[in-house]
Amino acid sequence: MGSDRLLVIGAGPAGLEAARLAASLGSQVLVVEKRDVAGGMPIHENYAALTHGFRDAGEAMAELIGAVTSHPNVELRTSTEVTAVEGSVGEFTVTLSSGTGDDTVEAGAIILATGFQHFDPGRETQQYGYYEFPDVITLADAEAMLKAHNFVRPSNGEVPERVAFIQCVGSRDRQIGNEFCSKVCCGISSKQAIEVRQQVPDARVFIFYIDMRMYGYWENEIYWPAQEQYRVNYVKGIVTEILSKNGRLLVRGEDTTMGRPMEVPMDIVVLAVGMEPSLGTRKMAEMLGVATNKYGYIETPHGELDTVATSVPGVFAVGAATGPADLDDSISSAGAAAAKAVALLRGAEVTV
């Protein structure tokens, strides 16, 4: 084996967790992050509370970042990009570029934790007018406002009386090409609906959905409290279009369980945008020659019993780089990849 160093690309929750675990197991770990701060989407996109436990996102991520940066086995380089990779398992040669110039490092194994990006609602095939109407926002926009305890209509700063969430924007949509379910949006919308009701108790909150996908404990921890305690209204039917009327948003769709068209005014509409592979995920996959699926996510081709090995030996992928994933999934896959990568670096046969 050439190098016993593990390279982790991406310092979001999954990358940080992989680094923390590999370091705890005694490996030397280099974490490379393109952005100037670690923490990934929860930090970059100003998440308020984490789904599903409602823990403060900043606080939770600070803890994880602290555990990584304080570990003597870990080196974290921010504002740094991987620009070339050569070699193969056990002896990768990796070129890193940063503001201060290029650098070459050796690594025995690589973990890709390059994550996702939010679907850009300008590409929806419904007519939601995200770029037309200031009061049409995304889940990420809403997180930022909730975190600031400033959940107001962006058009005029007023406190909303009626708030709607629209599910499956950019997901489960053949016309857009994202046929997959993004897994987390039902939970996050419901979590945000609860937060809206906590911060703006007089607001009425609606969630328009095709299917509510609230697995396992999300059901009793989020869905039921949202309905029973916070009186969030769930309406089965996807909104067809949003236009403006008398200074408010007019939301038009079918209330399918009642079997009738509906037109209701709203002050804020939150589009539950789905996940897509990030630009970093696409670039790294191409650079490393790792197989991707038709959506651009990194494939883990070895079946249900190996969720982290890619098509290239010595390269693992974790979290939302492999497909829509919630935080629990991302952290779990990071652990699995860290253990396998460390075993590989120590010369063990890693079964794939």
Partner 1 sequence: MTSIIPVESLKTKPFRVDPSEAPTEDIREVLFELEEAGEIIVQRVPEPYVEVMTKYGRTKKIPLGQTWHHKSCGQCGHIPGYSTSIFWLTRKLGYDYIDPKDQTSCTAWNYYASATSNVAAQGGVAMRNFAAAYETGYFPLIHCGTSYGHYKEVRHEIVHHDDVRATVRDIMSKLGKPLVMPEEIVHYSEWVHAVRDQIAQHQVRDFSDIVACVHPACHYYKLIQEDAIYDPDIYGGQRTATVSGLILALGAEVADYSTFFDCCGFGFRHILVSRDFSRSFATMRKIEVMKEEANPDVVITHDTGCVTTLDKSQFAPQAHGRNVGVPVMSDAQFAALAMGAHPYRVCQLHWHSTDYRPLLEKMGIDWEAAWIEFEKDLKRLEANEIEYLTWEDVDG
Partner 2 sequence: MSRAAPTTTFARRPGATLAPNAYDDVPYEEKLALWEEVKADPRFPDYLYGCYECGICVAACPSARFYDFSPRKIAQAAAREDVELIFEQMNDDVWNCSQCFSCDRCPRQNSPGGLITILREVAVRHGLASSQEALEGYGRVVYKIMTTGTQVSPDMLQPDAFPDWGPDVKEVSDQLDLWRRALPPETLHTTSTGWEVSEKTLLELYLIWHYSDVMDMIEEVDEGLHMIIMDVMEETLEEAGYEI
User: Footprint of partner 2 on this chain (CB under 8 A)?
Assistant: 125-127, 168, 172-176, 210-211, 236-241, 252-256, 259, 261-263
Cβ proximity to partner 2: between 216 and 259 the closer is: 259
Angle between helices 185-199 and 139-147 (to 10 degrees): 30
* Least distance to partner 1, CB of residue 50, Å: 18
Cβ proximity to partner 1: between 153 and 183 the closer is: 153
* Pairing mode of beta strands 109-112, 5-9: parallel
Q: What are phi and psi of 27, to 5 degrees?
A: -85, 155
Q: Is 297 in the site for partner 1 (CB under 8 A)?
A: no
Residue 339 binds which entry of partner 1, partner 2, none, with Cβ cut-offs from 5 to 8 Å by kind? none
Among 150, 198, 220, 229, which residue interacts with partner 1 (rule: CB under 8 A)? 150
Question: Quick one: which segment of 146-154, 161-169, 201-209, 299-307 binds partner 1 (CB under 8 A)?
Answer: 146-154
Footprint (CB under 8 A) of partner 1, residues 156-175: 156-158, 175
Residue 256 binds which entry of partner 2, partner 1, none, with Cβ cut-offs from 5 to 8 Å by kind? partner 2
* Least distance to partner 2, CB of residue 238, Å: 4
DSSP assignment of 49-97 equals B-TTT--BHHHHHHHHHHHHHT-TTEEEE-SEEEEEEEEETTEEEEEEE
* Least distance to partner 2, CB of residue 274, Å: 12
Q: Is 247 in the site for partner 1 (CB under 8 A)?
A: no
> Contact, 338 vs 17, CB < 8 A?
yes
Q: How far apart are CA 276 and CA 292, in angstroms?
A: 13
Pinpoint the alpha helices (H) of the chain.
13-24, 40-44, 57-69, 139-147, 185-199, 217-218, 224-228, 279-288, 327-345
> Contact, 20 vs 38, CB < 8 A?
no
Residue 203 binds which entry of partner 1, partner 2, none, with Cβ cut-offs from 5 to 8 Å by kind? none
CB atoms within 10 A of CB 201: 8
Residue 150 binds which entry of partner 1, partner 2, none, with Cβ cut-offs from 5 to 8 Å by kind? partner 1
Q: How far apart are CA 242 and CA 304, in angstroms?
A: 41
Q: Is 244 in the site for partner 1 (CB under 8 A)?
A: yes
C-alpha triplet 24, 17, 21: angle, nearest 5°: 20
* Least distance to partner 2, CB of residue 260, Å: 9
Residue 237 binds which entry of partner 2, partner 1, none, with Cβ cut-offs from 5 to 8 Å by kind? partner 2
Q: How far apart are CA 328 and CA 227, in angstroms?
A: 24
Among 25, 62, 67, 176, which residue interacts with partner 1 (rule: CB under 8 A)? 176
Among 177, 261, 289, 347, which residue interacts with partner 1 (rule: CB under 8 A)? 177
Question: Can you give the binding site for partner 1, defined by CB under 8 A?
Answer: 46, 120, 122-123, 125, 127-132, 134, 137, 141, 144-145, 147-148, 150, 152, 154, 156-158, 175-177, 241, 243-246, 250
